[in-house]
Structure 1
Amino acid sequence: MPSWKAPTIGERPVALLGAGVLGEEEFVPYNGFVSKYLQIIGRRIACSWVAGGYNVIIRDPSPEQRSAAIHFIDNNVAEFSKILSTTSVTKKGTYSAVEDLDSAVKDAWFVIEAVPEKLGLKISIFGELARKAPSDCILGTNSSSYKSSLMLDEVDANGRTRVLNVHYTMPPTTRTVELMTSTYTDEAIFPFLVTQHKNVGLLPAVARKESTGFIFNRLWAAIKRETIKILAEGVSDAEEIDTLWAEMFGDKKPGPCALMDAVGLDTVAFIEDNYIQERHLDPTNTVEFLRKNYIAQGKLGAKSGKGGLYPPGYTTKVKGKEECSTENLAAPTIYLLDIGFGENVHADYFNSGRLIVASADGTTWRAILSGLETPDGIDVSLSTGRIFWTQMGVPSENNGSVLSANLDGSDVKEVISKGQVHTPKQLAIDHQNEKLYFCDREGMRVHRANFDGSEHEIIVQTGDFRDSAQKEDELRWCVGVCIDTENGKFYWTQKGPSKSGKGRIFRANINMPPGGSAPNRPDIELLFDKLPEPIDLEIDVAQKMLYWTDRGEYPLGNTLNRAPVSPGIAAGHATSKFEILSRHLHEGIGLRLDHVNKHVYYTDLGGSVYRSDMDGKNKQTLCNVGATFTGIALAHVG
């Protein structure tokens, strides 16, 4: 058999299989096991290679995951370069995402498999790779659960010499990557891959022989196992364990409980199953404890929205720290609209808007579109890979519009053309039915349309903008909107005159009642009146809680608020009972709920973006720049 020769890399790509989890038809979930960890680690591996100057092709069958993976690299490659110290790399690598395996691997010098931990799936994939990838291509699995020798049933003798485990932890903040033989792997591959990983800024280590769990993962498995036993036996709790850990080993990294929540407790249990089977370990106070007390209740950690060993949103919190870090696997990407009335006093006000993408902590942000016509409301559909936003145009004229673009700001399209909507404000997506809802301030309407603008309809109309008296009546102006698909309701605000204390919040059915029309709906319910000046809306369906921003007069205005709502409130009933969660906003406007981490994000025209817990506690100002922020949207893209 000829010995392996190192490939000439040149423009040849690294192929990454799995930007996200594969469709359920491609594997049988284990106890509902679908790991968001695999989705995110795949994107981070790809981004690390791109930051290091290597070309990358991502293969995933899901259009949503392909789009999200590219978006993640767009937003994070600069930060990866800083952390991995690859800023001296003169040229970042190219990157693309494809659906089919053949085109992903046909020219690859290195393939990294990061698909769900199902052995049958991996055996099949490596059989295909051995046949389809170039004969000098290195074939690596990111699996920490299975030895690569178990994946070789369909791989010929030549292919087996090129297969190994290549396990990445969590780049870029954790730089370690472990290489391990399949027992057949050509020894010359290891120094070659060590060099390439060092070029990327990663820290490679080579296991001297095949071992379940590599080097560090075996240490980590022992720590996890004993930590879970401490919890199961009631000896301590997660916060205390992690506090002791931080005291002993430093607080630069989260402790074992926070890390297990970050990876996902279902993933932790799945990996531990392999150790239990191989070493005949007692599962009672480890995986059985996790499955009974956490996993069976949907408490999987950061990704679940229900928390895990920690409450939701506290993935990396340790005792003594006032703030919880959002640098976890479930942190959202923020999308912001800057209306353009900021520091540039010489700007063309009505054509100076920007669409900005920012990290969850506000430390990195970049404008992907500029020259927007007074943008106001925004939302994101990951399933279609599109951002949707409203543009008010010149408020005195009937020239508002709704537009969309790819997640990177390309392919801008007009969804609702000028003249079909007067002054569009907040926009919200009904993801289940792929519908856009948006309010129309001076147009005095609530609109609904498909993503492509078809089936555009008026579902609420409080006046006729062609009637100057009605148009000037701010009590009729519709501003904020949100949807409760589960209960078949939508909500909207009518803000009233500025600082007047005459604002109202209404609700109606998603389906128009028989005989009803936009100007004359019998199902409209007045929920709140005499509010200072309510603007944008959001709803937490699970908690039956409505949130809104208010730009009215102090002390009740310029606030973030919430109040309980339920489907059973009688039509025509109005209440003033609500809870103020945050004060001292500077013309508060944009609002979004992070249902995964249990956070509220909100903006003001003063140029600030805020984040707090759902009850308003732990309020933080994420950024305060020379901008005038209106709409905000969130998307969890890893």
Structure 2
Amino acid sequence: MSPMWSPPNIGSRPVVLLGAGVLGRRIATVFVAAGYNVRVRDPSQEARDAAIEYIDSHKDEFSRLSKGKRSYGEYSAIADIDTAVKDAWLVIEAVPEKLELKIDTFAEVDQKAPADCIFGSNSSSIKSRLMIEKVSPVRRAQVLNVHFTMPPTILTVELMTDGETNPEIFPFLTKILDDCGMLPVTARKESTGFIFNRLWAAVKREILTILAEGVSEPGEVDKIWDHMFKNGTSPCRLMDQIGLDTVAFVENTYIEERKLDGSLTVDFLRENYIKEGRLGLKSGKGGLYPPAPPSNLPSVYFLDVGLGGNCPDISLVGQNGKIIRRNPDGTTTALLTGLNCPDGIDVSPAEGRMFWTNMGRHTSTHDGSVHSANLDGSDTKTLLAPGEVHTPKQIVVDEANCKLYFCDREGMGVHRIDFDGQNHQILVKTGDMNSPTDKADSTRWCVGITLDTKARKLYWIQKGPSKSGRGRIFRANMVIPSGENASNRSDIETLFEGLPEPVDVEFDSGSNTLYWTDRGEHPTGSSLNKASVGADYIKGSKPEIIARHFHEPIGLKLDTKNGHVYVTDLGGSVYRLGLDGSDKIKIHEDDGCYTGVTLVF
């Protein structure tokens, strides 16, 4: 029978993280963002400073995980373990994966922490049973594994007994972790590797055997994995990310316990990779993959139009739009919320500002608007108030001239304004807004726009009815010919016709190439396309489909520095591809509904 147990009285008592490494600081931020006071203990001043910096810069992002708005908990980082644990209600060790160190750590904390304090180990491979040999018998009922993976990108937390843990602790911690926005699960019995790691261990072990036997190579294994599971996480790259020395250490735990032959797993890694210092991403010498060339990946700014599964009430669509930033490390932050169906976004690096369009509540309502803000979402300004345009769509920055160009769909035109919203001009007018017939004719609707600032040309898309095969792409000068107006200008050239349903467009000045998304029907729609529009352009030529099988793609942005193109779709995904459409990967996915996208370096 388990001894009587009462939950600790939390109050202002802290959660204590022993270890300020990558996971220690992330776990600390989970609790801070949920309103719990936190202390991080680490003997290294550099590690302590890094932990505080991480919490400072990421607590806003983590706060979206917790259930209900709340104030942040207080937090500090200290070197003295006595001070750290003296009034703690929960201590989680995240020290290096060395059993002797964990045994000594728990023994010391047992002597210094309050009697009701719970001890958790974040170890992914060592059972907490093996860590308690120096812990007093009465305390062992309060010790367990509490294994976080990598919040906030992975939310699972696995709980597992030390063989003596009071069973009432599991629902107690489950409720707290769930409140923090984590996904806690409990192993029903002691198990080396818990739940997910046992699944992952089997996959990893077989892959290494395949490589050691020469059956395949890392690139082929990952190709098969990506095709079969389509989850964006390839196993060989994941092991390189974790570090092959860590992979070998964890794998050795299974080998010793199960009396397995390690010649084709751990020994293979040590002989061919670890001995040569090829540990993966952290070594700079590569791992299973060769070292990647230096990259300067941008932050990705993209728009959630508000129509996705994350909208709690369909009547609130006009208040559910967001501007989201994905940082190069994969973390995301919602910079602005409550927007009225945002669609197009671009940035001015010189001004340090972003500009975006709101389509408005409905296609039949004349309530579109254009706005700007600092790149962190502060200092929001309205450039064109709701009603000054109908349904503004893609927007593009002319940095040199401090101008903004955008299309107005039901407004049937191409517009230009200054960065401050002044000097509003209509450059192309494809119909009369006072004519019900014109407004209903979607072949007149202007959606995507891009610029060739060197040649002083603008390109725009008129998409046609949904999935109709009547989309067109046009080109004209950025200046209306003398004596003409937006409705009768003579310099408009039709470049492409009969497209499924083209949407947003980008121009690569280096190759004189247009790229555009098409949300039309498969097989030619739901695609990324390109075509040359330089001196070698031939009227009537067919564009090239370079990538397919998106879920109604909308936004795109070129990164010619790194040879990439970014695409968003209404299915809630953000993709990165090569400029030729190769190496398509999904860098973000949830239940949002994404439109415009831009990049900040």
State the TM bucket, normalised to the shorter chain: 0.5 to 0.7
Aligned to 1:248: 276
The whole-number CA distance in structure 2 between the counterparts of 1:540 and 1:48 is: 44
CA contact (8 A) 2:273 2:287 kept: no
> Are residues 246 and 576 of structure 1, via their aligned partners in 2, closer, same or farther at CA, if it must alter by over 3 Å?
farther
Q: 1:54 deviation in Å?
A: 7.3
1:609 and 1:510 map into 2 onto residues whose CA distance is 31
Please tell me the residue identity of whatever aligns with 2:363.
Answer: P
- The aligned residue for residue 527 of structure 1 is 495
Give the residue type in structure 2 aligned to 1:412: T
Instruction: Choose which of 364, 370, 384 in structure 1 pairs with 2:351.
Output: 384
**Is contact 1:401-1:416 (8 Å) kept?**
yes
Letter in 2 for 1:427: I
Check if 1:440 corresponds to 2:408: yes
Determine the C-alpha separation between the residues in 2 that align with 1:371 and 1:50.
Answer: 35
User: Structure 2 counterpart of 1:487, which letter?
Assistant: A
**Does residue 346 in structure 1 map to residue 280 in structure 2?**
no
Matches of 2:275 and 2:352, distance apart in 1:
44
After superposition, give the CA deviation of every residue in 1:319-376 in whole Å (9 maximum; x if it has no partner).
846xx969x5511001010011111341401221011011246x21011111100000
SS of equivalent to 1:432: helix
Q: Which runs of 5+ in 2 are unaligned?
A: 1-45, 63-71, 78-271
- The one-letter code sitting in structure 2 at the alignment partner of 1:249 is G
Which residue pairs with 1:589 in the alignment? Answer: 554
Decide which of 75, 91, 107 is 1:90's aligned counterpart. Answer: 75
Amino acid at match of 1:500: S
Rounded to whole Å, the distance in 1 between the matches of 2:493 and 2:57 is: 44
- The partner residue of 1:336 within 302, 313, 330 is 302
Alignment partner, residue 502 of structure 1: 470
Q: Is the 8 A contact 2:61 2:333 kept in 1?
A: no
Q: Does 1:618 align with 2:592?
A: no
Asked if the contact 2:60/2:333 (under 8 Å) is kept, the reply is no
Shift of 1:484: 0.9
Inter-CA distance 76–357: structure 2 relative to 1 (3 Å threshold): farther
Q: Deviations over 1:96-145 (max 9, x none)?
A: xxxxxxxxxxxxxxxxxxxxxxxxxxxxxxxxxxxxxxxxxxxxxxxxxx
Structure 2: how far apart are the matches of 1:615 and 1:251?
31
CA distance in 1, matches of 2:399, 2:53: 36
How much has 1:517 moved relative to structure 2? 1.1
Matching residue of 1:431: 399
Tell me which amino acid in the other structure corresponds to 1:471. Answer: K
Contact 1:499 1:532 in 2 (8 A): yes
Equivalent residue number for residue 244 of structure 2: none
RMSD, matched Cα: 3.1
User: Aligned AA for 1:379?
Assistant: D
Q: Distance in 2 between matches of 1:548 and 1:346?
A: 32
- In structure 2, the residue matched to 1:374 is 341
Q: CA deviation at 1:455?
A: 1.1
Residues 433 and 318 of structure 1: CA distance in aligned 2, closer, same or farther (over 3 Å):
farther
- Alignment pair present for 1:454 and 2:439: no
Deviations for 1:284-329, whole angstroms, at most 9, x for unmatched residues? xxxxxxxxxxxxxxxxxxxxxxxxxxxxxxxxx88846xx969x55
Report what 2:485 is aligned to.
Answer: 517
| Pair 1:472 & 2:440 matched | yes
Q: Is the 8 A contact 2:500 2:525 kept in 1?
A: yes
Ranges of 4+ aligned residues in structure 1 off by more than 6 Å: 47-50, 75-79, 244-247
Deviation string 1:150-209 (CA, Å, 9 cap, x unpaired) is: xxxxxxxxxxxxxxxxxxxxxxxxxxxxxxxxxxxxxxxxxxxxxxxxxxxxxxxxxxxx
Q: In the TM superposition, what are the counterparts of 1:126-525 in structure 2 within 5 Å?
A: 248-253=276-281, 320=289, 330-343=296-309, 344-347=311-314, 348-360=316-328, 363-393=330-360, 394-525=362-493
Shift of the alpha carbon at 1:597?
0.5
Amino acid at match of 1:551: R
TM-score, with normalisation over the residues of structure 1?
Answer: 0.51
Change (3 A) 1:521 1:364: same
Partners of 1:596 and 1:581 in 2: how far apart? 19
Closer/same/farther in 2, CA of residues 513 and 74 from structure 1, 3 Å limit: farther
Structure 1 residues 493 and 91: CA distance shift in structure 2, 3 A = farther
CA distance 1:249–1:422, shift in 2 (3 Å): same
Say whether 1:605 aligns with 2:570.
Answer: yes
In 1: Cα distance, 2:347 partner to 2:275 partner: 41
Q: Which amino acid aligns with 2:354?
A: I
Which residue is 2:527 aligned to?
A: 559
- CA separation of 1:318/1:448 partners in 2, compared to 1, >3 Å: closer, same or farther? farther
| CA separation of 1:555 and 1:381: change in aligned 2, threshold 3 A | same
Offset at 1:575?
A: 2.3
Contact preservation (8 Å) 1:246, 1:255: no
Report the structure number with the largest CA radius of gyration: 2
Name which of structure 1's ranges 379-388 and 624-633 shifts more when overlaid on structure 2: 379-388
How far has the Cα of 1:253 moved from its partner? 3.4
- Aligned 8 A contact 2:366 2:387 in 1: yes
The 5 Å alignment of 1:73-88 reads none
Distance in 2 (CA, whole Å) between partners of 1:88 and 1:408 is: 23
Distance, in Å, in 2 between the alignment partners of 1:78 and 1:355 is 13
Supply the AA of the counterpart residue of 2:580: D
- Any residues of structure 2 matched to 1:97-116 within 5 Å, and which? none
The alpha carbon displacement at 1:412 in A equals 1.0
Counterpart of 2:517 in structure 1 is: 549
Tell me: CA distance 1:580–1:319, structure 2 relative to 1, closer, same or farther (3 Å).
farther
Matched AA of 1:513: P
Instruction: Kindly report which structure 2 residues correspond to 1:61-76, keeping only aligned pairs within 5 A, or say none.
Output: none
Please say if residues 378 and 387 of structure 1, whose CA atoms lie closer than 8 Å, have aligned partners that are also in contact: yes
Give the distance between the partners of 1:50 and 1:489, measured in 2 at CA: 51
Superposition TM-score, scaled by structure 2 size: 0.54
Letter matched to residue 333 of structure 1: S
State the 1:407 CA deviation.
1.3
Residue identity opposite 1:338 in structure 2:
D
Q: 1:488 and 1:345, CA in 2 relative to 1: closer, same or farther beyond 3 A?
A: same
Q: Distance in 2 between matches of 1:401 and 1:48?
A: 46
8 Å Cα contact 1:549-1:589 kept in structure 2: yes
Q: Does the C-alpha gap of structure 1 residues 416 and 247 become closer, same or farther in structure 2, counting only changes over 3 Å?
A: farther
Closer/same/farther in 2, CA of residues 75 and 501 from structure 1, 3 Å limit: farther
- Check whether the contact 1:404–1:413 (CA below 8 A) recurs between aligned residues: yes
Report the Cα offset of residue 419 of structure 1.
Answer: 2.1
Question: Does the 8 Å contact 2:61/2:334 carry over to 1?
Answer: no
Amino acid aligned to 2:339: L
**Helix, strand or coil: the match of 1:349?**
helix
Is residue 490–residue 509 contact of structure 1 (8 Å, CA) maintained in 2? yes
Q: How far apart, in 2, do the equivalents of 1:319 and 1:490 lie?
A: 46
Are residues 318 and 594 of structure 1, via their aligned partners in 2, closer, same or farther at CA, if it must alter by over 3 Å?
farther
* Whole-angstrom distance in 2 between the partners of 1:439 and 1:432: 20
**Shift in alpha-carbon separation, 1:382–1:89, aligned structure 2, 3 A:** farther
> In structure 2, how many angstroms separate the alpha carbons of the residues matched to 1:438 and 1:509?
15
Letter in 2 for 1:586: H
Q: Partners in 1 of 2:307 and 2:61 — Cα distance? A: 28
CA distance in 1 between partners of 2:394 and 2:375 (Å): 19
Give, in angstroms, the shift of residue 91 of structure 1. 5.7
